Amino acid sequence: MTRADVVLLSQLQANSNRSIADLASVANMSTSACHRRIRLLEERGLITGYAARLDPAGLRLGIHGFIEISLVSQSEQMMAAFEAAVRAHDDILECHLMSGSADYLLRIAAIDIAHFDRLHRMCLSKLPGVSSMRTSFSIRNIKAWQGYPLTHLSGGIHQEDEGIAAI
């Protein structure tokens, strides 16, 4: 990974709406080289897409819940059925397979408690194989996710442009 790659990833993660000319200037490269580097980062799967960050309060989604799920079994079939069901529900924002006391951790957003109740009844309670569910609500977001840290890539950067090496 080159220094320019890390700069481009950092800049795009902060604001993917920046122009190629602006990115090229920050990365100290020509616009055509910058465009090629970004395409290579996309082809290698380091950039998986572009999206806008939306304000949940502006969308009236003031309740954020984290749901710990334990399954009746950790068989491959049970986990596959649960994961497929989770993927089918847009109201489930995130799902993580966990170590520890719960098998999965889900994240949802709701307008209010009544809306969460509907999500619970119509979505969460119908997920297959659930033996227990424990919900915690966020009182206040102290630090919103802004992207992955890239500082660990600084040590292994080569100045020459040899393509993207395995990290």
**Which are the contacts of 80, defined by CB distance < 8 A and separation ≥ 6?**
none
What is the dotted CATH code of the domain comprising 3-52? 1.10.10.10
Among 36, 32, 49, which residue's Cα sits nearest to residue 2?
36
Dihedral sign, Cα of residue 82, residue 88, residue 93, residue 96: positive
The pLDDT value given to residue 157:
47
R_g of the chain, CA atoms, integer Å:
21
28-64 pLDDT per residue, tens: 999 999 999 999 999 999 999 999 999 999 999 999 9
Average pLDDT, integer, range 121-125? 96
Does the pLDDT at position 136 exceed 60?
Answer: yes
Total residue length of the chain: 167
Average pLDDT, integer, range 116-122? 97
**Mean pLDDT in the chain?**
91
Q: Tell me the domain boundaries of the chain.
A: 3-52, 63-137
The pLDDT value given to residue 161:
42
63-137: which CATH topology?
Alpha-Beta Plaits (3.30.70)
Confidence of residue 160 (pLDDT cuts 50, 70, 90): very low
Angle between helices 3-14 and 31-43 (to 10 degrees): 80
The pLDDT value given to residue 155:
62
The pLDDT value given to residue 146:
87
Of the listed ranges 68-72, 112-116, 121-125, 142-146, the least confidently predicted one is 142-146
